[in-house]
Structure 1
């Protein structure tokens, strides 16, 4: 059977282009000095190949914590790469960027500046009573549903329910209902997970997004947060109707919906749609990312009974109120050590935070030159295993590394601690693109950990049990069956 001449010509052209591309990559690419194996995890690649590893045709993974301030600094920050663009949403056929995924510095400044003041620690602390509401609800449900019945609690699910409901409460003044119902109502959490799984894969080949989710003829892929988006639209509509009629029931604290809606009077570019975009980022970042940061705390304390008992002794000695208040629990050194060590061992974000090398190019410490436009970045899951920063046993959960060593001067300890903190905090981003919710997340997590471990004895059903997890930009840990036993009466 004779081949169609057009088909044959097309095949020859494609083969020629592929061959030319291969020759270019092997012999002439300015990145040929960097080795890379795409089928290995980043950490294994760096163990094998060193400080800089080529992880794609135009991408270099770096592992030097000292480069955090260079790549992600506040002054002259490097431009985000296009890996973030699959996170765009499509509205009426148009791609809509947001302050997380935009590559445009002016866009980011324009839409981040109006809300930045709502995310300072002092402003976030005004929301503490709302977190107390959600914590009380969670403790009550865990006690009635698990502690009293000696039933197995899948802690991974309940931490997600808490994170999402807490984010909704400070944003809208109401819970989604996940804690109360003990399930993912409306599939909102599953929708978010599916969206991040899509993003994490396609972000590594971002042009594919044009043919999948952003295909103008037939969109292929998940529809992230459709129900979450519709929920937010409905809540905003109800809120505005209540404001107009004077029937709105305001809480003592200004919610994010109050603050964001009020910006419409100050900025001509803020409309209802922009308020929704801001609120959606609140819930998405406050749900999945916070849950991903909390699960390792509970898991590693359950796997290390001596660390658990040491933490409980500190909490008991502090005589905390119920729920634990930030002014009290934020000052406890071992609680802080346990939380930060969990951040280090299992950061909530575990993909490379990509940036583009600026016009002048960049020479890494070993002398190799990376040309302008190359995608480079640091992976939080890689830099937190740096023994030069964190000392020995970096694969183990050792909260004591965050405490002052015997014979260590105050100056040396502060210097060492600051470097560990800066490296571990990369999971929140850094510089001008740091996660706005960093203070809120820490407030939420420290309060919850202090309260639950003061209230319950928390153990894995089987101490030998191992969890499972999926890296989808945010870390999704699962299969954490635990037994809760009430330690004391609470109200």
Structure 2
């Protein structure tokens, strides 16, 4: 426990964080969350601070995020991954006579944006087809993240966010570049579903409509889907890939695990989520990816209207109690003395008690209880498929071993310059 600012303390104890975030906790979200209204002044699941309204909203969203209401969810992910494979094969495959370096960090976000838009609205945005950051969307969002953090941390700026003056400065669907054009696409898709002659469709937006989400609510949540649903998954994929490709022992063992599954008929093409869950080293690598660089590491403070005790310290009512994602995910009491390094074998060698303690701590990456991440099931399937489908086909070499990737931290990781050389692997598929 440490005091980091007036009326702010930070906690790095996984058990205490889990208790504060629990269903029956006396703590609720602090005003900090109001800084993440993506379409002010309307709240969304990211910015709501609690109560029955938030619970009711989550109940309308949950069936769509779980995949139960979405036909062809896994097939849509397969299509997106296959399109990414084709992009690599068509434009970025190097050979002994052809050198084609690629910024893997940027390309992965094209993939995750197209996948989430297909799942959400029934059609991909087309980032991979264009192979560019059209509308300058990604650059604009990344540039706005520091400002959003500033708004969230300074209470009077949060109030300013609600003013008409600030509204005029926010992204608009009338903008030619940035978030605005993506907002326009999302609002147009939402508007079509609420038209008098609209047909029911079995995608996420269709699920929201069927479960009673109002049109304005759907517009706000569509931005949550796009921004949160693409960047976080891309962050974990990059983190896994950069740590695997800079660790030759883990890299070759993981490829061998995938190859063995293929030759034994235990890995389909494309791999299913169920098959991927049976690959222990793969699962360990993905968990370590979440742990090393958690995709959402904002302070996410909680506040209680009565005095509380956290880490043995009395916390006065109204105090913001934040968490340190880095301290929690590298807690040596949970993950061992080598918690600061990428070490998938910790998951393979742990006894049941230690493994469960590590699992419970990793779960905090997705929130807890009534604040848990609704998109977790989709992200899990995406990562299971992406890593396998890439490593079964290609070899990846990092071009700058001293600084393989650039990370800028503003509550979320802004990653860039993961320059790689990609070559085709020898065929390991079983011969027909």
TM-score (norm 1): 0.79
Relative distance call for 1:181 and 1:449 in structure 2 (3 A) is same
Relative distance call for 1:142 and 1:201 in structure 2 (3 A) is same
Q: Secondary structure at the match of 1:275?
A: helix
1:216 alignment partner in structure 2 = 164
Higher RCO structure (Cα 8 Å, ≥6 apart): 2
1:409 alignment partner in structure 2 = none
Alignment of 1:298 with 2:251, yes or no, is no
Distance 1:420 1:121 in 2: 26
Q: Does the CA-based 8 Å contact 1:202-1:208 persist in structure 2?
A: yes
Distance 2:198 2:400 in 1: 56
Structure 1 residue corresponding to 2:44, chosen from 82, 95, 98: 98
Alignment of 1:128 with 2:74, yes or no, is yes
Distance 1:332 1:230 in 2: 41
1:285 alignment partner in structure 2 = 228
1:418 alignment partner in structure 2 = 356
Structure 2 residue corresponding to 1:198, chosen from 147, 156, 165: 147
Q: Secondary structure at the match of 2:413?
A: strand
- Within-5 A mapping of 1:310-329: 310-319=253-262, 320-329=267-276
Could you list the runs of 5+ residues in structure 2 that have no partner in the other structure?
172-177
RMSD, aligned α-carbons? 2.4
Alignment of 1:186 with 2:135, yes or no, is yes
1:151 alignment partner in structure 2 = 100
Distance 1:158 1:101 in 2: 29
1:207 alignment partner in structure 2 = 156
Distance 1:75 1:435 in 2: 17
Q: Secondary structure at the match of 1:336?
A: helix
1:256 alignment partner in structure 2 = 204
2:216 alignment partner in structure 1 = 273
| CA distances 1:297-316 after superposition (whole Å, capped 9, x unpaired) | 11111211111111101011
Distance 1:352 1:245 in 2: 41
Distance 2:366 2:390 in 1: 24
Structure 1 residue corresponding to 2:329, chosen from 357, 365, 384: 384
Q: Which has the larger radius of gyration?
A: 1
Structure 1 residue corresponding to 2:296, chosen from 339, 349, 372: 349
Instruction: Give the Å deviation of 1:125.
Output: 8.8
Distance 1:178 1:115 in 2: 26
Distance 1:97 1:181 in 2: 33
2:191 alignment partner in structure 1 = 237
Distance 2:225 2:255 in 1: 32
